[in-house]
């Protein structure tokens, strides 16, 4: 579909149809292929995650952000090189400008690792998360949610693989031994609390797919291929899924990583979201899928942006974004690195 005829809202994908009978699966796959090519974003339903689960993570996030600042700062991100932990609003940069949102970042829970000088840089990001003593139940809620959305994201990627003429487990080699499971809980304050409207500035996500859960407050907007911004308000029961840089690489641009941003809620309001980025193992290199001719003719090639090159070395691509977003962590733990 030429982009000037695209409707102004995002399409809806019902992933349960991927598990239906052969005819249903076939129609689903054809429509998914079109959606993937024409949009990087869609609403996802039929994913099997209960409303109880989504309510629980939004509730525990609200409880965390309502803690006294000293309890939140006890797990401040700058305390470790792993880009996990709490950041006050205004501490993350996108496009060189402050993002007005407070957040906690998590990733795959791991054991502490002893690093040697010869280890690749990305190994600095693996190891344990930081958990708040003031809210012990956060750990279980986060780890359970992370496991559930990992399952959803892998299911979506299985469908994406089939839509691109691959076997459903085509992503398995780059998940070996495990995928990256970066998760953030976020609170955006109202416009009156800050000096700009930027909740998060225009950016692309770095992983394969992002599974986004919002409360009822809108704010997300997505840039289409034609350059127009469209609103992506939350729909109860649906996740918003968007494609990331690694998916653009693996499909040689058949799928684009779309630019998106969040505008702050109006005065007196606030907005919560939970964002999960499923990526490849940080030690993996991204291949380019060998796709059938009828798909290949619609490849666009990978976006060339000298300010933001997409790297096929997964760890390097991840660190590029993390060092740029979190200069205080870069100064504290990566001063030996030219970023």
Ligand X SMILES: O=C(O)CCC(=O)C(=O)O
Binding positions for Fe ion, rule: CB under 5 A? 205
Is residue 214 part of the contact set for ligand X (CB under 6 A)?
A: yes
Is residue 251 part of the contact set for ligand X (CB under 6 A)?
A: no
**Of 245 and 289, CB closest to ligand X:** 245
Locate 102 and state its tokens.
């407070």
Least separation in angstroms between residue 235's CB and ligand X is: 13
**Of 205 and 289, CB closest to ligand X:** 205
Three-state secondary structure readout of the chain: CCHHHCCCCCCEEEHHHHHCCHHHHHHHHHHHHHHHHHCCEEEEECCCCCHHHHHHHHHHHHHHHCCCHHHHHCCEHHHCCCCCEEECCCCEEECCEEECCEEEEECCCCCCCCCCCCCCHHHHHCCCCCCCCCCCCHHHHHHHHHHHHHHHHHHHHHHHHHHCCCCCCCCHHHHCCCCEEEEEEEEECCHHHCCCCEEEEEECCCCCEEEEEECCCCCEEEECCCCCEEECCCCCCCEEEEECHHHHHHCCCCCCCCCEEEECCCCCCCEEEEEEEEECCCCCECCCCCCCHHHHCCCCCCCCCCCCCCCCEHHHHHHHHHHHHCHHHHHHHCCCCCC
80 binds, among ligand X, Fe ion, none (CB under 5 to 8 A by kind): none
Least separation in angstroms between residue 20's CB and ligand X is: 30
- Map residues 263-282 to x or -, x wherever contact with ligand X holds by CB under 6 A: ----------x-x-------
Residues 271-330 that bind ligand X (CB under 6 A): 273, 275
209 binds, among ligand X, Fe ion, none (CB under 5 to 8 A by kind): none
Which stretch, 19-27, 84-92, 114-122, 212-220, contacts ligand X (CB under 6 A)? 212-220
Near ligand X by CB under 6 A: residue from 75, 185, 186, 330: 186
**Of 108 and 214, CB closest to ligand X:** 214
Contact 64, 135 (CB under 8 A): yes
Locate 40 and state its tokens.
């990087």
Please report, for residues 88, 145, 182, 205, the alpha-carbon distance to residue 60 in angstroms, rounded to integers and kept in the order given: 18, 11, 18, 25
Rounded Cα distance between 291 and 158, Å, is 15
Closest-CB residue for Fe ion? 205
Three-state secondary structure readout of 280-319: CCCCCECCCCCCCHHHHCCCCCCCCCCCCCCCCEHHHHHH
Least separation in angstroms between residue 262's CB and ligand X is: 5
Least separation in angstroms between residue 260's CB and Fe ion is: 6
Near ligand X by CB under 6 A: residue from 104, 212, 291, 310: 212
Least separation in angstroms between residue 220's CB and ligand X is: 4
Residues 80-119 that bind ligand X (CB under 6 A): none
**Of 125 and 163, CB closest to ligand X:** 125
Rounded Cα distance between 55 and 104, Å, is 18
Total number of residues that touch ligand X (CB under 6 A): 11
Closest-CB residue for ligand X? 273
Least separation in angstroms between residue 94's CB and ligand X is: 9
**Of 213 and 302, CB closest to ligand X:** 213
Least separation in angstroms between residue 205's CB and ligand X is: 5
Is residue 32 part of the contact set for ligand X (CB under 6 A)?
A: no
220 binds, among Fe ion, ligand X, none (CB under 5 to 8 A by kind): ligand X
Least separation in angstroms between residue 273's CB and ligand X is: 4
Near ligand X by CB under 6 A: residue from 15, 142, 220, 241: 220
What residues make contact with ligand X under the rule CB under 6 A?
A: 184, 186, 200, 205, 212, 214, 220, 260, 262, 273, 275
């Amino acid at each position: 579909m030429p982009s000037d005829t695209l409707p102004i809202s995002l399409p809806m994908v019902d992933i349960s149809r991927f598990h239906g009978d052969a005819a249903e699966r076939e129609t689903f796959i054809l429509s998914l292929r079109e959606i993937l090519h024409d949009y990087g974003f869609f609403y996802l339903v039929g994913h099997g995650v209960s409303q109880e689960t989504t309510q629980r993570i939004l509730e525990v996030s609200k409880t965390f952000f309502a803690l006294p600042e000293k309890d939140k700062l006890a797990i401040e991100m700058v305390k470790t090189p792993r880009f996990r932990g709490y950041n006050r609003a205004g501490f993350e940069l996108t496009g060189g400008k402050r993002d007005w949102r407070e957040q906690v970042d998590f990733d795959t829970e791991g054991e502490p690792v002893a690093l040697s000088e010869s280890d690749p840089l990305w190994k600095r990001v693996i190891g344990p998360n930081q958990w708040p003593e003031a809210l012990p139940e956060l750990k279980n809620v986060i780890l359970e949610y992370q496991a559930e959305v990992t399952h959803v994201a892998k299911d979506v990627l299985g469908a994406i693989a089939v839509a691109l003429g691959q076997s459903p487990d085509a992503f398995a080699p780059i998940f070996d031994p495990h995928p990256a499971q970066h998760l953030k809980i976020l609170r955006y304050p109202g416009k009156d609390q800050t000096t700009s409207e930027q909740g998060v500035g225009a950016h692309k996500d770095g992983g394969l797919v992002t599974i986004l859960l919002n409360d009822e407050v809108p704010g997300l907007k997505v840039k289409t291929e034609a350059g127009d911004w469209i609103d992506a308000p939350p729909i109860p029961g649906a996740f918003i899924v968007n494609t990331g840089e690694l998916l653009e690489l693996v499909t040689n641009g058949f799928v684009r990583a779309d630019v998106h941003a969040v505008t702050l809620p109006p005065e007196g309001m606030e907005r919560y979201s939970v964002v999960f980025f499923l990526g490849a193992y940080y030690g993996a290199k991204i291949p380019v899928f060998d796709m059938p001719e009828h798909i290949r003719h619609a490849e666009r090639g990978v976006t060339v942006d000298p300010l933001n090159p997409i790297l096929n070395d997964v760890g390097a691509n991840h660190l590029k974004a993390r060092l740029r977003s979190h200069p205080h962590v870069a100064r504290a733990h990566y001063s030996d690195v030219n970023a």
